[in-house]
């Protein structure tokens, strides 16, 4: 697809310097001269033309889209200038990626998954892909008894072998499961009596991603669609971190609310599909933009991002014309917690109740102010405008960064600094 209009066309010209593609309509070509398709003709997209101007620190110059090298000098192929008629309908650094994608949805037995996030992601991407470049697999697992566990291991083996035969450039894995409220363990299925069975995190991850299925997790994006008990308990959260360190997905996303409702993340998922999987932006660099459009998510839950870098060769800067290989980095892991704040709804990410517990007034909270009497230097206080009752808030312990304004935005807490693997 053309990166300007996101539409197809009879002629699509691939830039010789970057991954972008432009159609003849956006180029303003009424008719396409067959010589433009000759092997020795080079095409430069408008974005690379702008980069060349910037690198040369020159003023604006005419855009020569098609050139041919004659005696070492680029010569314009067309007799007339190209006057662009297209309008950039997306971000100027966007492209339309054609990477093959796997969406793997693993569902614990008994979970309702009709209209789920993975299905929404698949539906959003279908318009941009051919059938052989977009694969969706939805599998129900049940590890509740030894017999069921043995059946799953065989099933996971067949599934892993089938998917491993495909060279997917992008792998997005969802695990939909309940978490236990007292320890943070994850439910594995149902026992002989039909009751839910929970298991420790390390055992759950080991069996759900039984070999060779575990190989698919490497350099993938893993969404854990479960309630926040998994991350609320230190033991279960550290066990999850160890499992991530072993399997090495590039990104892992978890949620903190005790009663997670996946429907509130639908706007996030649609934005993720377009911004990351279609337009090619790097996930951790654009995560704040995705959160800002997720209006239903921000009051419902915090978002945890665990990023393992160094699993792939680093991408060159966008629009770079050099093809020199970049040395791979050693793998390292870092963790962040993103919490939405609002001055009189969620000061320091602590949600204020809709009703004042002192007088029962509805939505009576004042804008939070700096609490000079607080123990923390950044403590805030909000007061009920009806009765004067005060509620105090302060940031979580550890390093943090505000990404917003005085009224609202996101706090990014560093769960742990970069650790080499």
- Cα-trace Rg, the chain: 26
Q: What are phi and psi of 49, to 5 degrees?
A: -60, -45
- Report the SS3 class of residue 264: helix
Q: Report whether pLDDT(241) > 60.
A: yes
- What is the residue-averaged pLDDT of the chain? 89
In this structure, what are the phi and psi dihedrals at residue 373, rounded to the nearest 5 degrees? Answer: -95, 0
Return the residue matching tokens 């040369």: 56
Q: Higher confidence at residue 387 or residue 99?
A: 387
In whole angstroms, give the CA distance from residue 371 to residue 75: 68
pLDDT at 319: 44
Q: What is the pLDDT of residue 10?
A: 87
Give the span between the Cα atoms of 49 and 224, in whole angstroms: 42
CATH number of the structural domain 101-309: 3.40.50
Predicted pLDDT of residue 90: 63
What pLDDT band is residue 268 in, cutting at 50, 70 and 90?
very high
Strands (E), 153-270: 170-176, 186-190, 196-199, 221-225, 251-255
Q: Domain-by-domain residue ranges, the chain?
A: 1-96, 101-309, 347-398
> Which pLDDT tens digit goes with each residue over 89-103?
665 555 667 789 999
Average pLDDT over residues 108-119: 90
| Cβ atoms 340, 288 nearer than 8 A | no
CATH of 347-398, one of 3.40.50, 1.20.120, 2.20.25, 2.60.40: 2.20.25
CA angle 261, 263, 269 (to 5 degrees): 120
Residue 399 has pLDDT above 50, yes or no: yes
Average pLDDT over residues 213-221: 96
Q: Do domains 101-309 and 347-398 have the same CATH topology?
A: no
In this prediction the pTM is: 0.82
283 falls in which pLDDT band (50, 70, 90)? very high
More confidently predicted of 355 and 90: 355
Q: Please, what sign has the CA dihedral across residues 276, 277, 282, 284?
A: positive
Report strand pairing: 221-225 vs 251-255.
parallel
- 320 pLDDT higher than 50: no
């Amino acid at each position: 697809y053309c990166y300007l209009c996101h539409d197809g066309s009879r002629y699509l010209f691939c830039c010789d310097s970057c991954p972008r593609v432009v159609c003849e309509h956006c180029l303003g070509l009424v008719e396409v001269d067959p010589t433009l398709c000759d092997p020795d003709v080079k095409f430069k997209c408008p974005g690379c033309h702008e980069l060349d101007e910037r690198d040369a620190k020159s003023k604006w110059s005419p855009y020569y889209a098609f050139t041919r090298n004659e005696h070492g000098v680029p010569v314009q192929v067309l007799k007339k200038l190209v006057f662009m008629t297209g309008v950039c309908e997306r971000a100027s650094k966007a492209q339309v990626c054609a990477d093959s994608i796997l969406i793997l949805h693993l569902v614990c037995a008994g979970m309702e998954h009709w209209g789920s996030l993975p299905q929404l992601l698949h539906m959003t991407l279908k318009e941009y892909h051919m059938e052989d470049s977009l694969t969706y697999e939805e599998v129900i697992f049940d590890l509740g008894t030894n017999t069921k566990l043995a059946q799953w291991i065989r099933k996971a083996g067949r599934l892993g072998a089938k998917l491993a035969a495909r060279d997917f450039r992008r792998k997005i894995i969802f695990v939909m499961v309940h978490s236990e409220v007292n320890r943070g363990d994850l439910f594995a299925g149902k026992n002989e009596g039909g009751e839910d069975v929970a298991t420790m995190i390390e055992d759950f991850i080991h069996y759900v991603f039984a070999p060779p299925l575990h190989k698919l997790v490497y350099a993938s994006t893993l969404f854990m669609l479960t309630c926040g008990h998994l991350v609320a308990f230190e033991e279960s959260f550290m066990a999850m971190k160890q499992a991530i360190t072993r399997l090495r997905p590039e990104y892992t996303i978890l949620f903190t609310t005790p009663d997670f409702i996946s429907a509130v993340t639908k706007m996030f998922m649609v934005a993720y599909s377009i911004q990351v999987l279609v337009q090619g932006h790097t996930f951790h660099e654009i995560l704040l933009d995705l959160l800002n459009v997720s209006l239903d998510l921000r009051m419902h839950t915090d978002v945890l991002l665990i990023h393992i870098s160094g699993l792939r060769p680093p991408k060159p800067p966008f629009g770079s014309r050099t093809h020199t290989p970049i040395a791979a980095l050693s793998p390292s892991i870092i963790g962040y917690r993103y919490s939405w704040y609002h001055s009189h709804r969620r000061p320091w990410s602590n949600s204020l109740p809709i009703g004042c517990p002192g007088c029962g007034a509805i939505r009576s909270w004042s804008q939070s102010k700096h609490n000079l009497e607080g123990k923390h230097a950044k403590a805030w206080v909000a007061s009920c405008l009806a009765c004067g009752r005060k509620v105090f808030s302060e940031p979580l312990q550890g390093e943090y960064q505000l990404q917003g304004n005085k009224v609202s935005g996101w706090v990014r807490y560093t769960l742990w600094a970069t650790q080499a693997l």
